[in-house]
Structure 1
Amino acid sequence: MEYILREITPTNWFTILIMACLMLLVTAKGVNTLRFSDFIMLLGNNKYIISNQKQNKLSSLFNAILLLFQVVSVSLFIYLCFDVFKWNVAPNEITLYFKIAILYTVIVVCKLLIEKIIAAIFSIDSIIDEYLFYKVSYRNFMGVILLPVNIIFIYAVNPSKIAFVILLISLSILNIIVLVSFYKKNENVILNYLFYFILYLCALEIAPYFILYKLISN
């Protein structure tokens, strides 16, 4: 009988990250059950946005927990992208993941701080605060969407490049729809600052993702 060696990829650290994501969601629900229920239904209705946007709750404990969840979940998805497309840019798997997570966190936090500074300079704090809450809420929810995707690709299905391309296109379209819906709602304000708005899109909504890729790749 001829024995065939089977390559088994260890998933211990994946399991720890998945459990961390689940614990963060449970913690967020424990902090505010009502807000969490509205948040989970975010794609179905705008109750979560309407209820919390005007109250400047971006810096609350609830949002901080969800932002941390977003970092862990999205970074894991980005790691899987690097793995599927064979972009070997780190000596081992866990090093690559933490590199992605740290850079992603730095970019997200820096973007928020820069946007707050821009709001103060142009005296548009109220609309920028609403915009940041709107954007961060939907991107936190994107982390929720990606969690089962990560679980399936890690434990059940061997992901293909085509599947990831479709997912990336779908997520990009969803992100564009979310942003355009806010821009449409505030088009009068945007038209008054059209030049600065275009600069903002190029500098803070497009460039950071190219920077993230370049930093991880180096």
Structure 2
Amino acid sequence: MEFITREILSTNWLTVLIVICLVLLATAKSINALRFYDFVALFSNNKYIISYQKPNKLSSLFNITLLLLQIASVSLFLYLCFDVFEWRTTPIEITLYFKIAIIYTVIVIFKVLIEKIIATIFSIDAIIDEYLFYKISYRNFTGLLLLPINIVFIYTFEPSKIAFIILLVAIAILNIIILVSFYRKNENIILNHLFYFILYLCALEIAPYFILYKSIKY
């Protein structure tokens, strides 16, 4: 029986990054343990959304901590994705990761700012605040789900293109389901402003991820 050794590049910086993610996770729990447990159960029930939507502030320490976790975890997943599909354009691994993280952070912040401006212009602050909390909460949870997947891919299981395609499709479907569930809840408002809604989807829900891919690859 022949053993095939897996060639593992230096993972020192990856280990540091994962430790930072775990520290962020522990910090969120220490800030508000009850809220953290509700957040962890987000996909099994709507208690977190119902309980924290109205009094929530996106700039709260709890949300900022989870957002940082999302950025770190999602950026790491995208880094592994670029590596597996051989889209890497920079010879230094950590440089590619920081490039992904910076561009992803800029897009996330830019989207929130634009949506807040739109809310002010059309006097729909309440619904946009609700939408932002709903969307960011689920994407923070996606970042949490990706953390153990990243750990497995780095230290245990060598990722394949098929595995990443399945994961990317699953994440895309999950995001679509999450967004559609909110849109259905507010379908009367959307139907009354259908043109602006379609424009919004193209400009702020589709284009940013295309820009992210192009910005990193070239």
| TM-score when normalising by structure 1 | 0.96
Q: Would the aligned equivalents of 1:56 and 1:130 in 2 still touch at CA under 8 Å?
A: no
Taking structure 1 as reference, are residues 155 and 127 closer, same or farther at Cα in structure 2, changes over 3 Å only?
A: same
Q: Which segments of structure 1 move beyond 3 Å, counting only runs of 4 or more?
A: 4-8
* Equivalent residue, structure 1, for 2:98: 98
| CA shift for structure 1 position 5 | 9.5
1:64-104 CA-to-partner distances (Å, cap 9, x unmatched) read: 00000000000000000000000121121000000000000
| CA shift for structure 1 position 198 | 0.5
Q: Would the aligned equivalents of 1:79 and 1:96 in 2 still touch at CA under 8 Å?
A: yes
What is the letter of the counterpart of residue 170 of structure 1? A
Structure 1 gaps of 5+ residues are none
Taking structure 1 as reference, are residues 85 and 95 closer, same or farther at Cα in structure 2, changes over 3 Å only?
A: same
Q: Would the aligned equivalents of 1:71 and 1:104 in 2 still touch at CA under 8 Å?
A: yes
* Equivalent residue, structure 1, for 2:23: 23
User: How many corresponding residue pairs?
Assistant: 215
| CA shift for structure 1 position 54 | 1.4
1:18-73 CA-to-partner distances (Å, cap 9, x unmatched) read: 11110001000111111101000000000000011112322211000000000000
* Equivalent residue, structure 2, for 1:199: 199
* Equivalent residue, structure 2, for 1:84: 84
Query: Structure 2: how far apart are the matches of 1:106 and 1:9?
Result: 29
Q: Would the aligned equivalents of 1:58 and 1:133 in 2 still touch at CA under 8 Å?
A: yes
Q: Would the aligned equivalents of 1:81 and 1:164 in 2 still touch at CA under 8 Å?
A: yes
* Equivalent residue, structure 2, for 1:119: 119
SS at match of 1:55: coil
* Equivalent residue, structure 2, for 1:167: 167
Taking structure 1 as reference, are residues 110 and 5 closer, same or farther at Cα in structure 2, changes over 3 Å only?
A: closer
| CA shift for structure 1 position 9 | 1.4
Taking structure 1 as reference, are residues 64 and 5 closer, same or farther at Cα in structure 2, changes over 3 Å only?
A: closer
SS at match of 1:168: helix
| CA shift for structure 1 position 192 | 1.4
Query: Structure 2: how far apart are the matches of 1:7 and 1:54?
Result: 50
Query: Structure 1: how far apart are the matches of 2:42 and 2:194?
Result: 29
What is the letter of the counterpart of residue 100 of structure 2? I
What is the letter of the counterpart of residue 61 of structure 1? L
Query: Structure 1: how far apart are the matches of 2:6 and 2:22?
Result: 31
1:135-193 CA-to-partner distances (Å, cap 9, x unmatched) read: 00000000011001000000000100000000000000000000000000111111111
What is the letter of the counterpart of residue 154 of structure 1? I
* Equivalent residue, structure 2, for 1:133: 133
Query: Structure 2: how far apart are the matches of 1:71 and 1:127?
Result: 25
* Equivalent residue, structure 2, for 1:210: 210
Q: Would the aligned equivalents of 1:56 and 1:129 in 2 still touch at CA under 8 Å?
A: no
SS at match of 1:54: coil
Query: Structure 2: how far apart are the matches of 1:6 and 1:148?
Result: 20
